[in-house]
Amino acid sequence: MPLALVHARYQLLEIIRIPVAIFGSAFFPAATMLFFVVPFAGDDPTAATFATAAMITFAVMSANIFQYGIGVAEDRDQPWSSYSRTLPAGPGPRFAGRILAGLAITYFSMLPVVVIAAVATAARVTPAQFLLAAGGVAVISVPFTLLGLAIGYSLPSKAAIVVAQLIFFPLAFGGGLLFGPDNAPGFVDAIAPYVPTRGALELMWAAVTDWRLNPTSMVMLGVWIVVFAAVAGWAYRRDEGRRFT
């Protein structure tokens, strides 16, 4: 078995043995759907579909930023993590394993959202759009996973919790996740294409509606992926576990 899969398997094993962690990540997007999307946009098929895609993007972002940002920072406090750094494997398999495990958890936490959207709203997608959206979740997980890893590897766990929370809201707001495609305030429209969440959101919209991608958002999403990957890689290499002075 490739090392990346080995790392993914053990990450998942550890998560699954404490099932509350999974229910936590599944609860948040489901509750958001129930309280904000169903009552306000549930009856309009177009609005409900856009809103569901936005909620999924929101959930992918929060699941990944928190899962990695805080999870990695906490792991780094554990002696086991410093032991595993003495094994003959570089950052590659470890990163890849974490990302695969995170993706599995992200998909799992999507299930309630999808069920609620299908049962309680007018949101509708074709089978092809559904598959496209499922693939889209994997694609848009990449930048948020890398951002989470960058936070987790560069900060101690208490600071990582605060930074993840501070980054989280402006990313959601600035990227237009909290608005429909036509009702965002002007300044949000102006900055959104340069915010990494926007490219992710547009990919999800494009997967399930006839939304046309904004080239600026896509280019910026690519730029952000490179930036987050560079920061995460740099932080991993300079990481020496806990630091005391």
Give the burial class of 59: count Cβ atoms within 10 A of its Cβ; 0-12 exposed, 13-18 middle, 19 or more buried: buried
Where does this chain touch another protein (CB under 8 A) — which range of 6-14, 151-159, 170-178, 204-212? 6-14
| Phi, psi for residue 65 in degrees, rounded to 5 | -60, -45
The single residue listed with the structure tokens 């002075």 is 245
State the Cα–Cα distance between residues 61 and 122, nearest whole angstrom.
24
Binding residue for another protein, selected from 36, 85, 178, 194, defined by CB under 8 A: 85
The residue whose two tokens read 């406090």 is 77
Nearer to another protein, 43 or 77 (CB): 77
State which residue, 3 or 104, has the beta carbon closest to another protein: 3
Nearer to another protein, 1 or 128 (CB): 1
Which of 48-56, 64-72, 169-177, 237-245 is the region at the interface with another protein (rule: CB under 8 A)?
A: 237-245
Contact string (CB under 8 A) for another protein, positions 10-39, x = contact: x--xx--xx---------------------
Element at 192 (helix H, strand E): none
Contacts with 182 (C-beta within 8 Å, 6 or more apart), sequence order: none
User: Is residue 201 within 8 Å of residue 56, measured between CB atoms?
Assistant: no
> 187 or 244: whose CB is closer to another protein?
244
| By the rule CB under 8 A, 86 interacts with another protein | yes
DSSP-assigned letter for residue 35:
I
Binding site for another protein (CB under 8 A): 1, 3, 6, 10, 13-14, 17-18, 78-80, 82-83, 85-90, 240-241, 243-245
